[in-house]
Amino acid sequence: MSMPILVLGAGGHAKVLIDALLTTSEVIAGVVDSDPALTGTTVLGVPVLGGDDVVGEFPPSEIMLVNGLGSVGLPVRRQLIFEKFKGIGYNFATVVHPSSVVADDTVLGEGAQVMAGVVIQPGSRIGCNAIINTSASVDHDCIIGDHTHIAPGVTLSGGVKVGTGSHIGTGATVIQGIVIGEQSLVAAGAVVVFDVAGKATVKGIPARVVLK
């Protein structure tokens, strides 16, 4: 990356991102977080400079942002933060941990995050602001929508499509060719063998709709 990085958020996901950035010797200007109690503290040695208003002290031409907000459920807040700062001219850095294996033809959208131990096979597309979290496996020709979170240990077989703003929970498995709609939630440990409609919540083995 050619410019220094400012990390949005000082929580657990931000810490993991900072570790990845430090591993690749990126220059991190600081961290911002809305909790005033964190101002003046550090995350892995990187200073917390203040709240979101601090971002405005850095012109968009001189800084790249990294979205450090994670998500347990649907990644709505994460999406709003991304859209807020894009709307005023900032760009987001794509983060790829050096221990991940990403096929050369993979398309990574702006601000996509590929964490440690991830495998992404050929023909796949990862949307803007999406997270492919620790040790997830994305097989050939998968399409992951913008703002979607593929949680740690998820297995996506070939040709899976996951819509915008969805969350695939920790350790879930999705068989080949499945389509998961926008803003859908797949519970941790679920095994998805049928398509999932948009705005649905599924869980279990096999995964069944519990809320739509």
**Length of the chain in terms of residues written:** 212
The structural domains of the chain, ordered by start, are 5-69 (3.40.50.20), 95-202 (2.160.10.10)
Mean per-residue pLDDT for 185-205?
98
* Separation CA 79–CA 1 (nearest Å): 23
Judge whether residue 61 has pLDDT over 60. Answer: yes
Q: Please tell me whether the peptide bond between 206 and the residue prior to it is cis, using omega within 30 degrees of 0.
A: yes
Kindly state the average pLDDT of the residues 187-200: 98
**CA 66 – CA 56 distance, rounded (Å):** 15
Q: Residue 130 corresponds to which tokens in the numbers above?
A: 């999406």
- Long-range CB pairs of 33-42 (<8 Å, 24+ gap) are 33/8, 33/9, 35/10, 38/10, 41/10
Question: Mean pLDDT in the chain?
Answer: 97
Average pLDDT over residues 184-208: 98
pLDDT given for residue 74 in this prediction: 85
Query: Bridge partners of 173?
Result: 155, 191
DSSP at 141 = T
What is the Rg, in whole angstroms, of the alpha carbon atoms belonging to the chain?
Answer: 17
**pLDDT surpassing 80 at residue 13:** yes
For a pLDDT cut of 70, what percent of the chain falls above it? 99
54 token code pair: 């601090």
Distance between CA atoms of 119 and 203, rounded to whole angstroms? 24
Residue 119 structure tokens: 């495998």
Decide: 203 and 210 in contact? Cβ < 8 Å. Answer: yes
Q: Can you tell me the distance from the alpha carbon of 52 to that of 67, in angstroms, rounded to the nearest whole number?
A: 12
Using alpha carbons, select from 65, 62, 21 the residue that is nearest to residue 45.
21
The residues annotated with a catalytic role in the active site are: 140
Task: Identify the pLDDT of residue 2.
Answer: 73
DSSP 8-state code for residue 105: T
Residue with the two structure tokens 């859209």? 83
Q: What is residue 122's predicted lDDT score, i.e. its pLDDT?
A: 99
Quote the pLDDT of residue 192. 99
Residue 123's Cβ-side half-sphere holds a number of Cα atoms within 13 Å equal to 9
Q: How many CB atoms lie within 10 A of CB 71?
A: 19
Mean pLDDT across the stretch 133-140?
99
Is pLDDT of 9 > 90? yes
Query: Which neighbouring-strand residues pair with 64?
Result: 5
pLDDT at 212: 57
